[in-house]
Amino acid sequence: MPELPEVETVARQLEPRLVGTSVVRFQVLDPLLASGPLPRIAGRTVLHVGRSGKQVLIGFSPLSPGDGALWLAVHLRMTGRLIWADPGARTARRHLRARFRLDRGRLLFYDTRRFGTMRWAPSAEHVRPAGLDPLSPALGGRRLRRLLAGSTQPLKSWLLRQDRLVGLGNIYASEILHAAGLSPWRAAGTLDGREIERLLRSTRAVLRKAIRNCGTTFSDFQDADGLTGSYQRYLEVYGREGQPCPRCGAEVARAVQQQRSTFYCPGCQR
Ligand SMILES: [Zn+2]
């Protein structure tokens, strides 16, 4: 499932291609995506492409002066992919759920399992996730302390909650806790000031390095060019059960928390 770095990768690749293009036509091919009447989209120009939590956010111009802007939030969920196609490029029809024809190419939304969503909104605020973005400058040590305060949840489960920090899933939660040298079972509200600083620094470092490497690909994730990420080469614990920890040499272990695998090092995450 794409997490924050994978969604950021897609948004960064789409941004230079989409900004300034005009929509010729927008078509929904999967009735699951058409829950209500669609706003008028043809004729608008793309003004903004970015990431909001785990969503790719696209901002469109008003159709006429005085008319409102329009925003689209695409949540890729399990298997969604936003693929850019140059004019004339051959593209697959299988699993295609929606399609933008633009004056400079096409933007295609593929999704094998069909859990992905497209939400249209009058402003970016309307689709802002509940949690704070871990890469936002608004997140500092004091803010993180407030978010953690009083929580008796194990740290790993706390990191997966999307209403505290947004965008972390199973892969990066395991990697961040390993980088911070914190046990996945530690009660989130018991971290002291230095541990909170370590958690914050590790979160940012792991996410930034993953973004530089275009995310992690195991089976489904593809970027906007249909290519895979390469951060899996740098994973220190995730998927490495039985292999030596790169930091202390102890054997990486796997445990199940909330029905999901947690990978950790019993040597340096006590
Ligand atoms: Zn270790």
Position 224 scores a pLDDT of 82
Cα 238 to averaged position of ligand 1 atoms, centre (Å): 13
Cα 237 to averaged position of ligand 1 atoms, centre (Å): 9
Q: Which residues contact 234 (CB under 8 A, 6 or more apart)?
A: 209, 210, 213
CB of 102 within 8 A of CB of 133? no
Instruction: Say whether pLDDT at 157 is over 80.
Output: yes
Confidence of residue 202 (pLDDT cuts 50, 70, 90): very high
Give residue-wise pLDDT tens across range 211-262: 999 998 876 677 888 888 899 999 999 999 999 999 999 999 999 999 999 9
Q: Whole-model pTM?
A: 0.94
Active-site residues, by number, are 2-3, 54, 260
Instruction: Say whether pLDDT at 46 is over 70.
Output: yes
Query: Following CA atoms 241, 244, 247, 250 in sequence, which dihedral angle do they give, to the nearest 10 degrees?
Result: 90
Cα 258 to averaged position of ligand 1 atoms, centre (Å): 23
Cα 202 to averaged position of ligand 1 atoms, centre (Å): 15
Cα 4 to averaged position of ligand 1 atoms, centre (Å): 25
